[in-house]
Amino acid sequence: EAGVAQSPRYKIIEKRQSVAFWCNPISGHATLYWYQQILGQGPKLLIQFQNNGVVDDSQLPKDRFSAERLKGVDSTLKIQPAKLEDSAVYLCASSQSSVHEQYFGPGTRLTVT
């Protein structure tokens, strides 16, 4: 069974630029999550989708971050404009449902200069 796929793996941008990350979850998984992991900290949930609907986006900085999951499969996370403090690893995860264990992709390491 293929795991969660993410691209790109690494991205370097200047502040005020925009960036987008892509995630393809495990086939059949209804729930998709985006996490931000800052160096030395545990992952922090940014947004959770159930199929193509948003379940929880309470910690998403909505003035600059946006995410969508069209057709309930792939998802994109966008940052516009980026700030220095957005430098982190962005992890995508999926699960069969919100009560099942989550499976994580390899992450995208973002560096904002």
Partner 1 sequence: AQSVAQPEDQVNVAEGNPLTVKCTYSVSGNPYLFWYVQYPNRGLQFLLKYITGDNLVKGSYGFEAEFNKSQTSFHLKKPSALVSDSALYFCALRSGAGSYQLTFGKGTKLSVIP
Per CB under 8 A, does 4 bind partner 1? yes
Among 40, 53, 70, 71, binds partner 1 (CB under 8 A): 40
CB 76 within 8 A of CB 25: no
Choose which of 12, 14, 55, 83 interacts with partner 1 (CB under 8 A). 55
Q: Does residue 22 bind partner 1 (CB under 8 A)? A: no
Q: How far apart are CA 85 and CA 92, in angstroms?
A: 19
C-alpha to C-alpha distance for 73 and 79, rounded to whole angstroms: 20
Question: In this structure, what token pair is assigned to residue 86?
Answer: 């957005």
| Sign of the C-alpha dihedral computed for residues 22, 28, 30 and 35 taken in this order | negative
Q: Which of 8, 16, 18, 44 binds partner 1 (CB under 8 A)?
A: 44
Write down the least CB distance from residue 43 to partner 1, Å. Answer: 5
# of chain residues touching partner 1 (CB under 8 A): 21
Q: How far is the CB of 98 from partner 1 (least distance, A)?
A: 4
Residue pair 36/47 in contact (Cβ under 8 Å)? The answer is no
* Residues forming the site for partner 1 (CB under 8 A): 4, 40-45, 48, 55-56, 91, 93, 98-99, 101-107
